[in-house]
Structure 1
């Protein structure tokens, strides 16, 4: 009877970690995948592959990192804050490689989406990439395979 009158409160959720380069990259990859309002298994798999190869993680570790990044993306700072972390911690050549990785997430579902491409452009710009490097990443990603 008392349970109906005084239901137990859900425990406070675990606080989110402070974003670092790993979390910032993962959150931006998730943000790109969500930009078309559809988060598909192919995109999840591509994010896991990128995180595993970039940070030398085992598949389960990469999946756990992605899950943390998903929560962070929903509740944490916006794109400029994540990009600032990467600009501060990652050299320019590696940021260019990140743009290629981000394109692979945007195209992982086999479809081009204007929302994903706009989100990607905003991220590439916030990462401080030049217009020429942004265009090169786009050309590479969209080139026939």
Structure 2
């Protein structure tokens, strides 16, 4: 516990390069997407197949970078204590439009297996609140995701 706290303090007090900032930001976004994928406690093949595409489209990265990011996000997700540590990073760097795209990707992943679990819905709503998005934006992104599927 003390080691984690020490690492957290060091990572937030050291100056980061622009590349490191982008990497941390992408990791935060990928981890939030993974939270949706694992929210209902089973990984549907449709969700697993859609996740890399969501990362490529949302974060504008390559497929190889998306694969690497998913592996890093799995570790990050496992060590996380709350969504706040990821949404804080996103709030500091993402525009409202970027946040909406991330939320849309979360909804698309939630509906990828054909059904929305209450846990997926809860994580997306909590994330939207932590990203300071309006309820109308949350509903608008959900409706877009439902139309696409």
Question: TM-score band, normalised by the shorter chain?
Answer: 0.7 to 0.9
If you compute each CA radius of gyration, which structure gives the higher value, 1 or 2? 1
Q: Which residue of 2 aligns with 1:10?
A: none
Query: How far apart are the structure 1 equivalents of 2:138 and 2:117?
Result: 17
Task: State the TM-score, normalizing by the size of structure 2.
Answer: 0.78
Map 1:100-139 to 2 at 5 A: 100-139=104-143
- Cα distance between partner residues in 1 of 2:143 and 2:60: 28
Partner-residue secondary structure (3-state), 2:141:
helix
Count of aligned positions: 130
The reply on whether 1:72 has 2:76 as its aligned counterpart is yes
Q: Aligned pair 1:33/2:28, yes or no?
A: no
Unaligned runs of 5+ in 2: 1-6, 12-22
Cα distance in structure 1, aligned partners of 2:97 and 2:65: 26
Give the Å deviation of 1:73: 0.6
CA root-mean-square deviation: 2.1
Whole-angstrom CA distance in 1 between matches of 2:59 and 2:104: 16
Q: How far did residue 144 of structure 1 move?
A: 6.9
Unaligned residue ranges in structure 1 (runs of 5+): 1-14
Q: Which residue of 2 aligns with 1:55?
A: 59
Distance 1:144 1:42 in 2: 15
Name the SS of the counterpart of 1:139 in structure 2: helix
- 1:44 equivalent to 2:51? Answer no
Q: Distance in 2 between matches of 1:132 and 1:56?
A: 26
TM-score, structure 1 as length reference? 0.80
Judging by fraction of residues, say which structure has more helix.
Answer: 2
